[in-house]
Chains A and B, each alone.
Chain A
């Protein structure tokens, strides 16, 4: 089945540790995105990538890093520099030049 996989669904970390969230897709979409969602708020863009080996900062990139070595994969690292990392993280993809974004099931990260 075609789709977007994010693992794990729930992730717990201690403060000061880096953590990497996985996003894999087999839709053959060119563009991939990472969003953060906090309670009572909409989605805010962290990073996006339109092609392999290229990515751009979104609105809230500080404290995060990404890589895009393969078309299918766009992992997000939440570094210790991120002040408030506890949130729900959503990965999305889109076919280049079209508008609809397809979302993965999300990862809920809790940092204590």
Chain B
């Protein structure tokens, strides 16, 4: 079974509109964390936001927020007021475990294109 599922291979959004990128996860570990990374066409991975499984509130970082629904095992990324520079691949990832090395598993990504 896939640990991280991103069902949207590609998305379009109008500039200045909000967009939600979906991510569902699968783990039996009570301690885990969820990340979102952005990968522009240049290739480097840029960390956007992190949500821990025990965090009471949804994480926010500027225009990025993570809609964390633990019971549904979903961790959707919301980008508000989209900008042309937001066009990129977006990856959801999960780390499991509390101590020692914590492996990070990545989803297959969603390609977001912002339309002027």
Contact = CB atoms under 8 A, between A and B. Distances in A.
B74 interface: no
Main SS at interface, chain B:
strand
Interface residues of A, number: 23
Contacts of B108: 40-42
A108 B43 contact: yes
Contacts of B105: 42
A41 B103 CA distance: 17
Contact of B101 (A43, A48, A102): A48
A58 B106 CA distance: 13
B25 interface: no
A50 interface: yes
B50 A105 contact: no
A99 B106 CA distance: 14
Contacts of B93: 42-43
Nearest to A45: B103
A105 B101 contact: no
Interface of A: 31, 40-45, 48, 50, 56, 58, 88, 90, 92, 99-106, 108
